Amino acid sequence: MIKVTIIGAGSAFTNNIVVDILSIPGIESGNISLVDIDSRRLKIAHELVEKIINKTEKKWKVVSSVDRREVLQDSDFVINQIEVAGLSTVKYEFEIPLKYGVNQCIGDTLGPGGLFKTLRTLPAWIEIVRDIEELAPNATILNYTNPMSAVTLATTKITDLPVVGLCHSIQNTSRQLSEYLEVPYEELKWKTGGINHMSWFTELTYQGQDMYPILKEKISKDKELLAKDPVRLDAMKYLGAFVSESSGHFSEYIPYYRKRQDLIEQHCSAGYNGATGFYANNWPIWREENDARIMRMLSGEEEISLETSNEYAAVVIDGMVNNVPKVIYGNVSNTGLIDNLPSGGIVEVACLINANGINPTHFGKLPEHLAALCRSNMAFFELAVNAVLEKNKEMAFHALTIDPLTAAVCSLDEIKQMFDELYNAEKDFVGV
């Protein structure tokens, strides 16, 4: 009988992932184990999963524990969606860099925020991986935790357990592109590859026609369309390809859009389109709202929907368990998959899923200028991950010196001052 363990079950992902898993054809029973160190949020997650199971009328069982070792045994799949000390640190990671001119929208992948999230997330995750190796040696790890590339890279460095990083960027972006182009999604064809949050749609066609000239013409005539996705659409004009993550995220990974206030005002608008401090100012609110929504579902005030999502976790499980070939875009080790990105780094490519597991496909070469932008990010992840694995504080600082946005704004001396201030604020949470 299949067993799925979700670590960080208090996350907003749990609802959709459980609905998706219970919707897999042919799997009428199984076990779901929930783990979270927050006992209150674990309790409501457990109650929600029980309600979902009852509504589907399937024969799944759910158990939960604040101690993962109690429920990990013999798991077939372990889904990671942990958040380490986020509420305690999110303000530091936005407000301290802002003093030095580093203006972040999200700050959970690159930049000062992404670095310190890596430094506080990986020590906890490494301990979890060691328990998975001991208690569930045949498990496949499905990672949702950001920084996606850093967490997945660390996993590949410390274990031989199969791991894939799962995101919704490709699914969401491909649908957005069909809407921008006003063509049926099912008939839009594309080729995409790169790294998480920076995969490039290097080919984009509809009925055999290249859609990029049409998209460029559209944004030249329709300022309202450009305003819907200002950074990505502007970057596409000059770089020649559309990227997989939102304008707000993407604006932080490159040195062009957030280094001066006039550029921020020109290109970075509200919300996920690049608002200053969007994540830091809203994430604690979103967490409360998600908990409140779960409570409404538990009380019956809000209907529990069984509509499936576009997340990939259940797609992987279905493909492997039912041996039904599936294709996802997964984050995996670069074993010659993208020719001009570093070997062993984490890349995002199309992967075939079947009973043999996760089978990444060869992408080939990215256009060199796009590969170079990916490589700058990959070098940051390599330094940040190795800083934790080697407990090397200086290496962590060096990661920040090569961050594209930080380097565009600050001198080396300013970067050192900022790093030290962040380190002192978070020294109780970080692993170097």
> Positive or negative, the Cα torsion across 380, 376, 331, 362?
negative
Task: Decide: 306 and 55 in contact? Cβ < 8 Å.
Answer: yes
Helix, strand counts (H, E) of the chain: 17, 13
197 in active site: no
Residue 127 corresponds to which tokens in the numbers above? 């301990």
What are the beta bridge partners of residue 6? 34, 79
| Dihedral sign from CA coordinates of 100, 102, 108, 112 | negative
Cis peptide before 147 (omega within 30 of 0): yes
Tokens of 136: 């569930």
The span from the CA of 301 to the CA of 256, in Å, is: 47
C-alpha 254/C-alpha 374 separation (Å) is 9
Q: What residue type is 144 in one-letter code?
A: Y
Cβ of 301: how many Cβ atoms within 10 Å? 9
Q: Nearest-CA neighbor of 311 among 107, 142, 75?
A: 142
Q: Quick one: DSSP state of residue 73?
A: T
> For residues 12 and 20, what is the distance between their CA atoms, to the nearest angstrom?
14
Report the alpha-carbon angle 362-363-365, nearest 5: 125
| Contact predicate 119/431, CB 8 Å | yes
As a whole number of angstroms, the distance between CA 235 and CA 231 comes to: 6
**Count of CB atoms within 10 A of residue 213's CB?**
9
Instruction: Give the CA radius of gyration of the chain.
Output: 21
130's tokens: 């060691």
222 CB-near residues (< 8 Å, 6+ apart): none
What 287-291 contacts at long range (C-beta under 8 Å, 24+ apart), as own/partner pairs, is 287/12, 287/87, 290/12, 291/41, 291/44
Query: Catalytic: which of 46, 168, 267, 369?
Result: 168
Nearest partner of 33 among 51, 60, 13, judged by Cα: 60
d(CA 268, CA 255): 13
Kindly list the catalytic residues. Answer: 168
